[in-house]
Amino acid sequence: MFQTRSARLRYHLVAYTLLILASIILMSPLFFALSLALQGATAAPSLIPTDFTKLDWGVFAAVFEQQPIIARWIANSFVQASGVTIGVLITSSLLAYALSYLNFPGKTILLFFALGSLMIPFEVTLIPNYLFISRIGWKDSYQGLIVPFLASGFGVFLLRQYFMTLPRELYDAAVVDGCGRLRYLWSILLPLSRPALATLAVYTFLSTWNQFYWPLLVTNSNEWRTTQVGITIFRNFEYAVFNIQMAATLIVMLPTLILLVLGQRQLVRGLTAGALKG
Amino acid sequence: MKKVNIVLSLILVSMFVAMSLLVTSTAMLQDATATPLPTITSVPPVQKPEGAIEVTFWYGLGGLLGNVVQETVNMYNQSQDTYYINAVFQSSYDDTINKINAGLASGDLPNLAQVFEAGTQRMIDTGSITPVQELFERDGLTAVIEDMEPAVRANYTVGGTLYSAPFNSSTAMLYINRAAFIEAGLNPDEPLVTYDDIIAAARALTVKDASGNTTRYGIGLYAETWFFEQIHAVHDTVMGTPANGRGAERMSAYTYNDPIAVQYLEFQKAMVDEGTAIWYGPGGSTPATAAYANGEVAMVFSSIASLRTLVSSAERAGMGVDVGVLYMPRNPDATGKTIVGGASLWITNVGTPEQQEGAWDFVKWALTPEVQAFWSSNTGYYPVLQSAYETDTMKAALELYPQFQVAIDQIRLADITDANTAHVSGTFVSMRQDVIKAMDDFITGKVASAQEALDAAVAVSNELLEEYNSTVSE
Amino acid sequence: MNIDESIRTTMSLTHTPSEGRYEALKVWLARPRTRDLGRALLYSSPALLIFILFTYWPFFHAIYLSLNVTNNQGDAARFNGIDYYLRILALDGSGRTEYVESIFLSFQFALMVVPAAIVVALGLALLATLRVRYIEVFRTIFTSSIAISLASSGVIWALIYSPSTKATTWLVELLQIGTPSLLNSDSTALPAVALMTVWSGIGFNFIITLAGIQAIPQDLYESAAIDGASGWQGFRFITLPMLSPILLFLVVINTIGSLQAFTQFQLLFMDRAQTVFVHQIYRAFWNDNRYGLAAAMSLVLFAILLILTIIQYRVFDRKVHYQ
């Protein structure tokens, strides 16, 4: 790969410098949040703590002390986000498959029907959907949190774009060989699309995790709150003091970050499988 | 490929070089040994007793003050076992009333709700509430109403009816750094009264370094409509007609583009133009109060409920800021007083009669001197009842924070009139937005005259108010 | 439709009408396109059901609401015709143009965010394909912003921009904007929110771009290298074309996303009057409970996004290189 050892060294030096620099820049807002969390209850925090011996690490414990129920909120968010993710993967891959492999009238209209769902501001759907869920008695329930989000215009579009990059000949050959269309989807197309599916899964999971207005409306008790709604209880009023709010924000970020690290390995494996050759 | 990677990465890096400099920019000196925020007596939650009637209570006051709400509820739940208050936090004042509005159509309402004063007319218009006046009269408890702080009571009385039970109330103050006053040769015990007093003091308090950069501004200002409302009340001037919306008829037009408002805007702009004030703009309360605690501005307008945080933050910052409070500015001929802001408890007419009784029972319990003293001493809000000041708890709190007495005196400066009580309208929140725009437009020089800026704002406010009134069936 | 088929269809139509129609239907049903239509409906039914129930039903309800002034329950209180639309588009003769200005501001915002977001993501993705050890760690770091909600990053950035933390004071002084914070000045407020939005979207855009780059067959580069292609040529003639479906996806999604952005404005613009269109919708809906106006604004935004997406799709989908 490299002609000389010095070329190799130079390559690594430049590469790591850039990688580390980019990482620091990207992470700095998070360090800043941590810094604010650790400076105690003050209306006048500084960017970097001036005295590192006086950091208030107890702030994280204070979050759990004040709201022990935060564990339940995290669990609720986890169930909701997982349910939505699985549902979206199924509905999106079916519809995207139809859009990219079948030839039928009204295909573009169907694509835009799915895409159109992304263009409608949430204010339009919020109240009617809330009344509907309320009427069928799904408040304070996982189905109320999950079902309205089981289809995603985003997911359909992402998978459609990805499926379109896969060699069409594969499909034609499989169909000629008598492979059923759903079987093709399940045993050839989806395994080939692992990176896109993983991306969609991560995206869907996290955007569901970060929902605010919907869970606020359809949950009425502390037990059914999700994390983003729940942690607003740490936001101070009359006091511009942010330490506990920042600590709580970091705490609920942690499960998603861990999930990301685990999911990342899956992503990378899918990506480097090189399944597209040939 | 590799070269390209590196070139493109360089583009990326240069785009974000700003952010890396951010990390290395200088930090402020700080001392973390100061006293913590006022300690809050911890009252643990109790289990719902067998057979108790559950009463749902929505509240929007979060953070440390929200803990005191929860503790007050816990105290009530411990004190008896007929009712059980289930307090559910609804994210903020705004979201609480949003959720109530959404619930009107689905019938999904709490038995009791804490709503900010901007929501008073909207709550009345829901038609889903029971005025607490009726309940006080039914139970022969009008003495409690008589005992209420007059300014606080007036704030929640519309057309002669007390609609909701006052809960957390505060007023606006001028905070001064007493140490800076002494340093500038001013006497901190001689109150600044008029706009001219403040302008002169701001001049004296402004400090510049050798290179001409301002190291301390006389005053930190920001776009906040609550102060604008205060100024109107201090000068006994209505924000809208008829009668500030407080009479039998609802408000039909805003009139806040008056000389009092023009004078207030010009007062602020004069100091900003002179360089003795710094303008933090809309949403500037956080930086302005932080600058005050750090000694970077010598004066700031803020709520009396911020007193404790400002005292402890000033101590932590270690810049020698000595917190003092003064009245809001007034012209020599002013006859009014400041208004209170905050939130109150609304009893809805949904749920079973037992649940509605439970909500009322909690309100009755909360409006006792001991509970009020607990509430006030732990939060920094006014006690709703005057008799609460006779408790030892309140006496101790006043000894700890003597500045609080100034705030008490300020809302007792004048007899209650419609004009020196906060106005009531169905489009309160939106009106505040319009005033903020007018203030910011004028002070930053986008609009040349204060009158022009206010005229434009009133036109927008009235368009919306008219539309709102047309949708309400009387 | 092949010629035989169309002849047969035309022929059969000349027979007795009813029999002819039946025949035609049979022919039509037997065509592959028709059979595919049946399959397509079957495959798409789960998603369609959800879309219709939870998106398009409320959407049609919103069309009705937008023609009315609503009461506090969100029901139509009085018919208003197209007055809200005229007001939004500044055609009502009042001379007030705040909504058109917000739309303009939204476009400015999208123009700042979309190109920057994609260029940064592309740069990071190329960086993340460097062949060094521990590259997975860096990939995770680059993706991490996806895990941080807009609400959380909005709070963090509000403090970064706040003059009280002094984090951006140097920039304020450098630019000489004469206000305490970047967010106070009309010239820097929008770029400041755009920067925060780009940061917040890095994780998502990066991961999609990386997936796209990784999907490009390596042998393309190898044969190009044998033909003496430079790194730049490899990027220009292999990476970019092969990545084009993904880039189209990112352009469309980021455009929609940035024109729909409001959380960051709610947190960073707070009470600022001059703001983007979706923030205006948010205020009309939540602060004023003007559900009719909010619905009308939403439909205007929908129309704008639809037209934009159709244009992007028309212009790019042909140029996009699908396999």
pLDDT in tens, B162-175: 999 999 999 999 99
Q: Which residues of C touch A36 (CB under 8 A)?
A: 159
Q: Does the beta-carbon distance from A45 to C165 stay under 8 Å?
A: yes
Whose structure tokens read 């950091």? Answer: A55
Question: Looking at the DSSP assignment, which residues form a beta bridge with residue B279?
Answer: B221
What is the C-alpha R_g of chain B?
Answer: 24
Mean pLDDT (chain B, rounded):
90
Residues in chain B: 474
| Residues whose CB falls within 8 Å of the CB of residue B38, separated by 6 or more in sequence, listed in order | B308, B312, B378, B380
Max mean pLDDT among A218-232, B402-416, C231-245 falls in B402-416
Closest alpha carbon to A147 in A94, A89, A87:
A87
CB B423 within 8 A of CB B240: yes
- The answer to whether B77 contacts chain A (CB < 8 Å) is no
- Determine the average pLDDT of the residues in B129-154: 97
- Determine the average pLDDT of the residues in C73-92: 91
- The answer to whether A65 contacts chain C (CB < 8 Å) is no
Q: Is a pLDDT exceeding 50 seen at residue B31?
A: no
Distance CA B237, CA B240 (A): 9
Residue B297 is classified by DSSP as B
Distance CA C294, CA C300 (A): 10
Q: Is a pLDDT exceeding 50 seen at residue B27?
A: no
Which chains, if any, share at least 3 CB pairs under 8 A with chain A? B, C
- The answer to whether C246 contacts chain B (CB < 8 Å) is no
pTM confidence score: 0.88
Percent of chain B with pLDDT over 90: 82
Distance CA C45, CA A189 (A): 20
**Considering the domain C87-319 in this protein, what is its CATH number?**
1.10.3720.10
Residue type at A166 in one-letter notation: L
Q: Does the beta-carbon distance from B26 to C166 stay under 8 Å?
A: yes
Whole-number pLDDT of residue B1? 40
- The answer to whether A105 contacts chain C (CB < 8 Å) is yes
Distance CA B255, CA B243 (A): 11
Q: Give the domain ranges of chain A.
A: 5-55, 69-234
- Determine the average pLDDT of the residues in B296-305: 96
Whole-number pLDDT of residue A169? 82
What is the C-alpha R_g of chain C?
Answer: 26
Q: Is a pLDDT exceeding 60 seen at residue B110?
A: yes
Residue type at B417 in one-letter notation: T
Q: Find the CB nearest C124 among B12, B19, B102.
A: B12
Q: Find the CB nearest A43 among B25, B65, B310.
A: B310
- Determine the average pLDDT of the residues in C67-76: 89
Q: Does the beta-carbon distance from A29 to C124 stay under 8 Å?
A: no
In chain B, the residue whose alpha carbon lies closest to the alpha carbon of C75 is B105
Whole-number pLDDT of residue B271? 98
- The answer to whether C246 contacts chain A (CB < 8 Å) is yes
Looking at the complex, report in whole angstroms how far the Cα of residue A118 sits from the nearest Cα belonging to chain C. 7
Q: Which residues of C touch B466 (CB under 8 A)?
A: none
What is each CA distance from C187 to A33, A252, C108, C176, C182, in whole angstroms?
27, 35, 12, 11, 8
Q: Is a pLDDT exceeding 60 seen at residue A272?
A: no
Closest alpha carbon to B154 in B468, B464, B420:
B420
pLDDT tier for residue A266 given thresholds of 50, 70 and 90: low
Q: Does the beta-carbon distance from B62 to A134 stay under 8 Å?
A: no
Interface test with C, best of A119, A212, A239 (most C CBs within 10 A): A119
Q: Does the beta-carbon distance from C138 to A22 stay under 8 Å?
A: yes
- The answer to whether B9 contacts chain A (CB < 8 Å) is yes
Q: Phi first, then psi: give them for residue A2, nearest 5 degrees.
A: -115, 140
- The answer to whether C97 contacts chain B (CB < 8 Å) is no
Which tokens belong to C91?
Answer: 């055609």
The matching CATH number, chosen from 3.30.70.100, 3.30.70.1230, 3.40.50.720, 1.10.3720.10, for A69-234 is 1.10.3720.10
| Residues whose CB falls within 8 Å of the CB of residue C104, separated by 6 or more in sequence, listed in order | none
Domains assigned to chain B: 53-170+340-410 (3.40.190.10), 172-338+426-471 (3.40.190.10)
pLDDT tier for residue A267 given thresholds of 50, 70 and 90: low
Which chains, if any, share at least 3 CB pairs under 8 A with chain C? A, B
A90: three-class secondary structure by DSSP: helix
Closest alpha carbon to B277 in B439, B96, B469:
B439
Percent of chain A with pLDDT over 90: 42
Q: Which residues of C touch B291 (CB under 8 A)?
A: 163-164
> Could you read off the pLDDT of B65-98 as tens digits, one per residue?
899 999 999 999 999 999 999 999 999 999 999 9
Q: Which residues of B touch C289 (CB under 8 A)?
A: 101, 122
> Could you read off the pLDDT of C278-312 as tens digits, one per residue?
999 999 998 888 999 999 999 999 999 999 989 98
Q: Is a pLDDT exceeding 60 seen at residue B7?
A: no
| Residues whose CB falls within 8 Å of the CB of residue B464, separated by 6 or more in sequence, listed in order | B427, B430, B431, C288, C290
pLDDT tier for residue C321 given thresholds of 50, 70 and 90: low
Q: Which residues of B touch C71 (CB under 8 A)?
A: 471-473
| Residues whose CB falls within 8 Å of the CB of residue C265, separated by 6 or more in sequence, listed in order | C193, C275, C276, C278, C279
Percent of chain A with pLDDT over 70: 94
ipTM for this model: 0.86
Q: Is a pLDDT exceeding 90 seen at residue A256?
A: no
Question: Looking at the DSSP assignment, which residues form a beta bridge with residue B172?
Answer: B303
Q: Is a pLDDT exceeding 70 seen at residue A83?
A: yes
Q: Does the beta-carbon distance from C119 to B11 stay under 8 Å?
A: yes
Interface test with A, best of C48, C50, C286, C287 (most A CBs within 10 A): C50
- Determine the average pLDDT of the residues in A136-165: 93
Q: Give the domain ranges of chain C.
A: 87-319
> Could you read off the pLDDT of A13-32 as tens digits, one per residue?
999 999 999 999 999 999 99
Interface of C with B in 195-224 (CB under 8 A): 195, 199, 221
Whole-number pLDDT of residue B150? 97
Distance CA B454, CA B442 (A): 9
- The answer to whether A246 contacts chain B (CB < 8 Å) is no
Q: Is a pLDDT exceeding 70 seen at residue A122?
A: yes
Whole-number pLDDT of residue C124? 95
Whole-number pLDDT of residue B322? 97
Name which residue leads in pLDDT, B309 or B473.
B309
Q: Is a pLDDT exceeding 80 seen at residue A269?
A: no
Q: Is a pLDDT exceeding 60 seen at residue C29?
A: yes
Q: Is a pLDDT exceeding 90 seen at residue A225?
A: yes
DSSP A154-195: HHHHHHHHHHHHS-HHHHHHHHHTT--HHHHIIIIIHHHTHH
- Determine the average pLDDT of the residues in B247-276: 97
> Could you read off the pLDDT of B316-356 as tens digits, one per residue?
888 999 999 999 999 999 999 999 999 999 999 999 999 99
Q: Find the CB nearest C271 among B26, B282, B473.
A: B282
Whole-number pLDDT of residue B41? 52
SS3 content of chain B, % helix, strand, coil (to 5): 50, 15, 35
Which stretches of B139-224 are DSSP H helices?
142-147, 150-155, 178-183, 195-205
- Determine the average pLDDT of the residues in A130-152: 94
- The answer to whether A236 contacts chain B (CB < 8 Å) is yes
CA angle C290, C295, C296 (to 5 degrees): 100
Q: Is a pLDDT exceeding 90 seen at residue B442?
A: yes
Q: Phi first, then psi: give them for residue B114, nearest 5 degrees.
A: -95, 120
